[in-house]
């Protein structure tokens, strides 16, 4: 009995040793990650973002911030449950299905900035990668902005006034910083009844009036095109979930998406699946589309997941699905997987990671029709036309007209 107990104790020690995540037994990639992770609070980029965040929250007020932050958390808790637990019913195109809080963009941005170091598992990379550079630039020059004439009015518009358009004001801040760094005195011009420039800048005897126009992250035509794609994705998704293997689909629309048959992608996949062509990697082409389908490289995906958990959704998961991942590409996906919630608490959302994948289905789509490309590009001209409505800007836009 004594020898048996001794053996059991020895086995228990070995078992515990295998489970213990000792840093000296980690691979070099893990070591590098942990070293950078533990220094995240000292990272200059993080400190700059935090500086801008603190300035904004001081102006907004903590009570207001707590209320608005809770609205962000509630939205993503409701949406996230459906995204993970019922992916086949998740409607990414619905008003309550977007991975962004449209009801209060400012609160959404502030929540992401607050989470950067305090809740590092919480993030939406496609959103944060777009806004963090603005916050960092503002935080780096926050003292100069604080002393700029007219800044209180702009802070009110950004954080208090219910215009829900933070991108344009954040862009004005960054433009103002550019002038300040080059020796100009800057004044923010308040919004009035009539259209007016955004900034007045003076350097010596020079005086300029500046109108800030930032391209929208997505054009109206692109939004409508995406909605049309989602109708076609719904059709093929119903077939994909019945297919026994993980599948990646490449779709090229040769016509404007809304001018193609809503069943065109589903029909192409059905034809390939029924004859076994998907396993070989095959394409179907007609006058409307080119559809290519292939099995995913699940070994490559499994090898990565053996070493890392991957945030879902994220660009990293798309890079696992697509052997030729394009960061600027348009992707839609669904998967059956084991998920892990990292550091769960009442203030954390979007902190679920994929630990293992049973099956995954992903599509990358593009429209190469010249009309589609032209309509999306024309948004640049439309932006200048809006600026031209200001009488003081008319002469400048007329001079630019031949080049547009």
Q: What is the pLDDT along the chain (404 residues), one digit of tens a residue?
A: 444 444 444 444 444 443 444 444 567 877 877 787 788 889 999 999 999 999 999 999 999 999 999 999 999 888 866 666 655 555 544 455 577 888 999 999 999 999 998 999 999 988 899 899 999 999 999 999 999 999 999 999 999 987 788 999 999 999 999 999 999 999 999 887 567 889 999 999 999 999 888 776 677 888 899 999 999 999 999 999 999 999 999 999 999 999 999 999 999 999 999 999 999 999 999 999 999 999 999 999 999 999 999 998 899 999 999 999 999 999 999 999 999 999 888 999 999 999 999 999 999 999 999 999 988 876 666 666 665 555 445 544 444 444 34
293 in a domain, yes or no? yes
* Element counts in the chain: helices (H) and strands (E): 16, 9
Q: Within a 10 A sphere around the Cβ of 288, how many other Cβ atoms?
A: 18
The HSE-up count of residue 313 (CA atoms within 13 Å, CB side) is 21
Q: Which pair of tokens denotes residue 110?
A: 């502030």
Are residues 133 and 67 located together in one domain of the fold? yes
327 in a domain, yes or no? yes
Q: List the beta strands (DSSP E) in 98-257.
A: 185-188, 199-203, 206-210, 247-253
Are residues 232 and 366 located together in one domain of the fold? yes
**In the block, residue with structure tokens 């593009």:** 366
Are residues 116 and 193 located together in one domain of the fold? yes
Closest of 192, 206, 46 to residue 115, by C-alpha = 46
Q: Within a 10 A sphere around the Cβ of 37, how many other Cβ atoms?
A: 9
pLDDT of residue 13: 43
Rounded CA separation 85/339 (Å): 10
Are residues 73 and 128 located together in one domain of the fold? yes
Q: Do residues 193 and 136 lie in contact, with contact meaning Cβ atoms separated by under 8 Å?
A: no
Are residues 245 and 143 located together in one domain of the fold? no
Are residues 51 and 108 located together in one domain of the fold? yes
Helix axis angle for 44-60 and 125-140, nearest 10°, is 80
66 in a domain, yes or no? yes
Are residues 102 and 175 located together in one domain of the fold? yes
Are residues 50 and 180 located together in one domain of the fold? yes
Q: Which pair of tokens denotes residue 404?
A: 């547009």
Helices (H), 279-356: 298-307, 315-321
Tell me the pairing of strands 247-253 and 289-295: antiparallel
168 in a domain, yes or no? yes
Q: Which of 181, 210, 239 is the last residue of a domain?
A: 210
34 in a domain, yes or no? no
125 in a domain, yes or no? yes
The whole domain housing 351 covers 223-373
> Residue 312 burial (CB < 10 Å; 0-12/13-18/19+)?
buried
Q: Do residues 222 and 230 lie in contact, with contact meaning Cβ atoms separated by under 8 Å?
A: no
User: Residue 81: is the preceding peptide bond cis (ω within 30°)?
Assistant: no
Helix axis angle for 125-140 and 105-118, nearest 10°, is 80
Q: Do residues 321 and 305 lie in contact, with contact meaning Cβ atoms separated by under 8 Å?
A: no
pLDDT of residue 380: 62
88 in a domain, yes or no? yes
């Amino acid at each position: 009995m004594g020898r048996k107990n001794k053996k059991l104790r020895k086995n228990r020690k070995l078992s515990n040793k295998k489970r213990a995540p000792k840093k000296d037994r980690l691979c070099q990639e893990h070591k590098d990650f942990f070293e950078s992770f533990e220094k995240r609070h000292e990272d200059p980029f993080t400190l700059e973002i935090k500086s801008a965040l603190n300035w904004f929250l001081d102006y907004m007020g903590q009570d207001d911030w707590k209320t608005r932050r809770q609205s962000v958390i509630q939205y993503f808790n409701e949406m996230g449950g459906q995204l993970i637990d019922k992916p086949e019913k998740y409607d990414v195109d619905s008003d309550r299905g977007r991975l962004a809080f449209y009801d209060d963009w400012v609160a959404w941005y502030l929540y992401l900035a607050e989470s950067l170091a305090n809740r590092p598992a919480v993030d939406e990379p496609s959103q944060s990668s777009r806004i963090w550079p603005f916050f960092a630039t503002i935080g780096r020059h926050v003292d100069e902005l604080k002393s700029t004439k007219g800044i209180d009015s702009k802070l009110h518009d950004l954080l208090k006034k219910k215009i829900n358009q933070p991108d344009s004001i954040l862009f004005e801040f960054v433009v103002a910083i550019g002038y300040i760094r080059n020796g100009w005195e800057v004044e923010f011009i308040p919004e009035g009844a009539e259209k007016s420039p955004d900034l007045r800048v003076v350097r010596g005897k020079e005086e300029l009036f500046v109108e800030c126009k930032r391209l929208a992250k997505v054009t109206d035509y692109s939004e409508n095109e995406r909605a049309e794609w989602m109708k076609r994705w719904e059709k093929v998704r119903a077939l994909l979930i019945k297919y026994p293997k993980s599948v990646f689909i490449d779709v090229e629309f040769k016509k404007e998406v809304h001018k193609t048959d809503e069943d065109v992608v589903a029909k192409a996949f059905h034809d390939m699946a029924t004859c076994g062509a998907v396993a070989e990697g095959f394409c179907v082409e007609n006058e409307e589309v080119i559809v290519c389908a292939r099995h995913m490289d699940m070994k490559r995906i499994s090898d990565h997941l053996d070493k890392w958990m991957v945030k879902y959704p994220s660009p990293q998961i798309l890079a696992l699905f697509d052997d030729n991942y394009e960061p600027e590409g348009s992707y839609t996906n669904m998967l059956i997987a084991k998920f892990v919630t990292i550091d769960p608490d009442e203030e954390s959302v979007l902190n679920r990671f994929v630990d293992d994948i049973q099956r995954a289905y992903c599509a990358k789509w593009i429209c190469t029709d010249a009309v589609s490309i032209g309509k999306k590009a024309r948004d640049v001209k439309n932006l200048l036309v809006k600026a031209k409505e200001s009488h003081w800007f008319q002469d400048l836009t007329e001079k630019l007209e031949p080049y547009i």
